[in-house]
Amino acid sequence: MTLDQTQKKEVILFYLGTFFSSIGSMTYLVCAMAFMIKAGLSTFEVGLFVGATRFFPILSTLLLGDISDRISPRKLIIVSEVLASIISLGLILAWTNISYSVIPFISLSMIRACILSIQAPSKSKIAKIIAGADYSKNSLTAIWLNKVTHGSALFAAIIGFVFVTKLTMVHVLAFDFLTFLINGIIVWKLSIGSTKGSDSINFRFFEKFKYLYRYSQRAATLDILLALVMCGANLFSTRIAGTREELIPLFLGSYGLAVWTSGFLERWAPIRKAHISVWVVLGLSYVFLGQLADTGWAALFVYFISDSAYWLLFHRYSAHIQTDAPPEKAAAIFSARIIQMLIVLSLGEFVVGFWSQYVSVEWDATWRAVLCLIVAIMLVKIKSVKVNKNASEI
pLDDT digits (tens, 9 = 90+) for 258-267: 999 999 888 7
Predicted pLDDT of residue 3: 61
Mean pLDDT of 14-34: 89
Predicted pLDDT of residue 350: 75
Res. 254: pLDDT tops 90? no
Any domain includes 139: no
CATH number at residue 96: 1.20.1250
Predicted pLDDT of residue 391: 55
Q: Are residues 377 and 270 in the same domain?
A: yes
Q: Is 201:69 a contact under the CB 8 Å cutoff?
A: yes
Residue 2 falls in which region: left (phi positive, over 0), alpha (psi -120 to 50) or beta: beta
Predicted pLDDT of residue 97: 85
Any domain includes 146: no
Q: Are residues 233 and 339 in the same domain?
A: yes
Predicted pLDDT of residue 111: 93
Identify the weakest region by mean pLDDT among 16-30, 44-58, 70-84, 125-139: 44-58
Nearest to 69 by CA among 325, 329, 334: 329
3 state SS of 3: coil
Percent of the chain having pLDDT more than 70?
92
Residue type for position 103: I
Q: Are residues 190 and 220 in the same domain?
A: no
Any domain includes 55: yes
Q: Are residues 220 and 368 in the same domain?
A: yes
Q: Are residues 122 and 212 in the same domain?
A: no
Q: Is 147:22 a contact under the CB 8 Å cutoff?
A: no
Any domain includes 323: yes
Residue type for position 390: N
Q: Are residues 196 and 212 in the same domain?
A: no
User: Which of 40-49, 110-119, 379-388 is predicted most confidently?
Assistant: 110-119
Q: Which structural domain range is residue 57 located in?
A: 1-134+152-202
Q: Within the chain, how many helices (H) and strands (E) appear? A: 16, 0
Identify the weakest region by mean pLDDT among 13-17, 32-36, 87-91, 288-292: 32-36
Banded model confidence at residue 238, pLDDT cuts 50, 70, 90 = confident
Any domain includes 235: yes
Banded model confidence at residue 200, pLDDT cuts 50, 70, 90 = very low
In whole angstroms, what is the distance from residue 137 CA to residue 143 CA? 10
Q: Are residues 364 and 375 in the same domain?
A: yes
Q: Is 251:333 a contact under the CB 8 Å cutoff?
A: no
Q: List, for residues 51-95, the tens digit of each pLDDT value.
A: 788 788 888 888 887 888 888 888 899 999 999 999 999 999 999
Q: Are residues 304 and 291 in the same domain?
A: yes
Any domain includes 147: no
Q: Are residues 121 and 268 in the same domain?
A: no
Res. 174: pLDDT tops 90? yes
User: How high is the mean pLDDT of the chain?
Assistant: 85
Q: Are residues 195 and 51 in the same domain?
A: yes
Q: Is 295:243 a contact under the CB 8 Å cutoff?
A: no
Q: Are residues 94 and 129 in the same domain?
A: yes
Any domain includes 141: no
Mean pLDDT of 172-196: 87
Q: List, for residues 315-333, the tens digit of each pLDDT value.
A: 999 999 999 998 888 888 9
Please tell me whether the overall predicted TM-score, pTM, comes out greater than 0.75 for this model: yes
Task: Please give the tally of structural domains in the chain.
Answer: 2
Q: Are residues 95 and 33 in the same domain?
A: yes
